[in-house]
Amino acid sequence: MGRWNKLGRIFEPKGQVDWMKSYAWLPTAEHRGAGVYRVYIGGRNKDNLTQMGYIEIDILKPFETLKVSEHPILRLGDLGTFDDSLVLPSWIADRGEKKYMYYIGWMQGKRVPYYASLGLAVSEDGGESFRRCGRGPLLERNDVDPYMTASACVLLDEGLWRMWYLTNTQWSIVDGALRPRYHLKYAESSDGFNWKREGVVAIDFKSEDEFAISRPFVLKEDGMYKMWYSHRGGTYRIGYAESADGISWIRKDGEVGIDVSSEGWDSEMIEYPFIIDHGSKRYMLYNGNNFGETGIGLAEWAA
């Protein structure tokens, strides 16, 4: 087994721009050439509403932020639409000259705190701006996913679009507060837009105490599918699983090779992993305490 060597916190949100007064969560990276990566993130403004922007880093000199987008590249949806309160990146995929951004949208609720759905936006200018594919969600609530859908990983695998995504199984009252219970399911598509959902569970709860499994990252390596994700009973940790077909998974959380630090910005929780393979090295972007409020960390894999 290997382990992840933490290199440190590479970005801390300190109100650098109006759209990001706090938080830099769900880092979602794409290679921009040489060692440069654009990392799409969600930032909270002064009204505590989350919109999507980005930072750029050189993976070989990650502590020097090259750029922070001056404005959100995907703003909140119109009042009353599924993403009028939060827009978060989840996955970006190239399709010809276009970029598909699968993103999370929230609207606030009354009997439950919020409703979450997965949306899709497209960029035709290299990721400088995105337009929604519609005013409604890509993965709406239905009989298979009646409560909510959210963070997803999307791969074009031998001509088939494959998705691993979060879905809520119930809302319940725990210690006097409403709490969702969500895990990861699997879906397929021929075009990346129209998805067939049959309720296939990819990563399920390992115990009654576990109530949150989120933010999958899947890659295919040497014929094996490997997944990193977040899981939570008390506070978030990063987990790991393997699969021969991308459908049936074996959880190997004990082999993930990364945990909270003894002190500091990621001493309470770590979550939302995103893997970068650059040259001969493998890196992980992740968030720390309080779901991204304290910033973004970087770790390097040591086999």
- Contact between 118 and 137 under an 8 Å Cβ cutoff? The reply is yes
User: Chain-centre distance of CA 173, in angstroms?
Assistant: 26
List, for the chain, all residue ranges whose pLDDT scores fall below the cut of 70: none
DSSP states of 54-107 as a string? Answer: EEEEETTEEEEEEEE-SS-SB-PPPTTSTTSSEEEEEEEEEETTEEEEEEEEEE
Q: Which long-range contacts (CB under 8 A, 24 or more apart) does 60-68 make?
A: 60/35, 61/35, 62/7, 62/10, 62/298, 63/8, 63/10, 65/10, 65/11, 66/36, 68/16, 68/17, 68/20
Is the CB of residue 50 less than 8 Å from the CB of residue 23? yes
Q: What is the pLDDT of residue 1?
A: 73
Residue 209 is given by DSSP the state: T
Answer left, alpha or beta for residue 193, where phi above 0 means left and psi between -120 and 50 means alpha. Answer: alpha
Report the mean per-residue pLDDT for the chain: 97
Q: Which residue has the tokens 């706090």?
A: 22
pLDDT of res. 303: 84
Cα dist from 69 to 3, 16, 98, 163, whole Å = 33, 10, 20, 28
Out of 3.40.1110.10, 2.70.150.10, 3.40.640.10, 2.115.10.20, select the CATH number for domain 3-302: 2.115.10.20
What gap in Å lies between CA 184 and CA 179, rounded to an integer?
17
Q: How many CA atoms lie within 13 A of 226 on its CB side?
A: 12
Distances 169 to 113, 146, 179, 247 between C-alpha atoms, Å: 15, 8, 11, 19
The token pair at 264 is 């500091």
Burial of 297 (0-12, 13-18, 19+ CB in 10 A): buried
The pTM of this model reads 0.97
pLDDT of residue 108: 96
Q: How far apart are CA 257 and CA 204, in angstroms?
A: 21
Cα 221 from chain centre: 20
Question: Quick one: pLDDT at residue 228?
Answer: 98
3 state SS of 264 = coil
Amino acid at position 236, single letter: Y
For 80-94, how does the pLDDT look when each residue is reduced to its tens digit (9 = 90+)? 999 999 999 999 999
Question: Could you tell me the residue ranges of all domains in the chain?
Answer: 3-302
Q: Across-strand partners of 285? A: 274, 298
